[in-house]
Structure 1
Amino acid sequence: MSSVVHAVTFDCKDPYTLARFWSEVTGWPLGDDDSPGDPEAVVLPPKDSGGTPLLFIAVPEGKSVKNRIHLDLQPVDRSREAEVERLLELGATLVDDRRRPDGTGWAVMHDPEGNEFCVERSAAERARQSG
């Protein structure tokens, strides 16, 4: 018998605020009963999408070292560059630009609480380059 990933969980200071950021990033809604000040909040993928919920849990300590696991994002309906700009407007920070002149590579970013994530090329950008 095997297991499935039930949720990807983020420890954080402000679950509701961080969940709102990730809701904007993914386009997925917050849980119906999530409110500011709650000790946890969830971002729910569309039903039958196969996506995994993102769960945000309040912890007393702040982030102090690099994540040992992170999310890699692939834009669906825009270029990697446009997505990086959109995420910067939402409150993310660009921390390591690994984009290459030939269009390959990725951008390493932090969410508002310092959790690392990467933005890769869209499927359309990959197809153009390989085709």
Structure 2
Amino acid sequence: MGTVVENVAIDCADAYGLARFWGAVVGRDVEGEAGDREVRVGMAEGPALYFNQVPEGKAGKNRLHLCLRPDTSRDEEVERLLALGASFLADRRNPDGTGWAVLADPEGNEFCVLRSQSERAAAN
């Protein structure tokens, strides 16, 4: 027996606005409209991203975060995400190419950008 993860819920101040950012990140459509308090971004595989508008702001570090593995290089993806409105928080990349970059979405939720599969394969 088991259960299925239906979605990853993200509390936020602007459900539609944050869903638009994440929809652009993952290249998927936003299911909702401006002003909606609950908005969804359906994924091609795995659980959906579900944005729930809440009255309180983010406080402290995320206890759960998303890790992204891009199709392009990690560094190219970091630049793309910064152009979409992400903020750079920490550089955990190592000289040997391992590691990750820590970014934050427009509401301050941390997430990581990992190396692509091709970068990982080239290192082996």
Greater fraction of residues in strand: 2
Provide runs of 4+ in structure 1 moved above 6 Å.
none
The residue correspondences of 1:56-95 to structure 2 (distance < 5 A) are 56-76=51-71, 78-95=72-89
Structure-2-length-normalised TM-score: 0.97
2:35 equivalent to 1:37: yes
Q: Could you tell me which residue of structure 1 aligns to residue 111 of structure 2?
A: 117
Paired AA for residue 44 in structure 1: G
Q: Secondary structure, in 3 states, of the residue corresponding to 2:57?
A: coil
- 1:94-109 to structure 2, matched below 5 A, reads 94-109=88-103
Q: Tell me by how many angstroms 1:30 deviates.
A: 1.0
What are the ranges of 5 or more consecutive residues in structure 2 without an aligned counterpart?
Answer: none
Gapped runs of 5+ residues in structure 1?
none
**C-alpha distance after superposition, 1:105-125 (max 9, x if no partner):** 100010000001000000000
Q: TM-score, normalised by structure 1?
A: 0.92
Give CA deviations for 1:24-45 in whole Å, capped at 9, x if unaligned: 00011111xx111110110011
How far the C-alpha of 1:100 sits from its partner, in A, is 1.1
Give the number of equivalent residue pairs.
Answer: 124
Output the aligned Cα RMSD: 0.7
Measure the CA separation in 2 of the matches of 1:51 and 1:24. Answer: 17
Structure 1 residue 97: Cα displacement? 0.5
What is the CA distance between 1:51 and its match in structure 2?
2.0
How far apart are the structure 2 equivalents of 1:38 and 1:30? 11
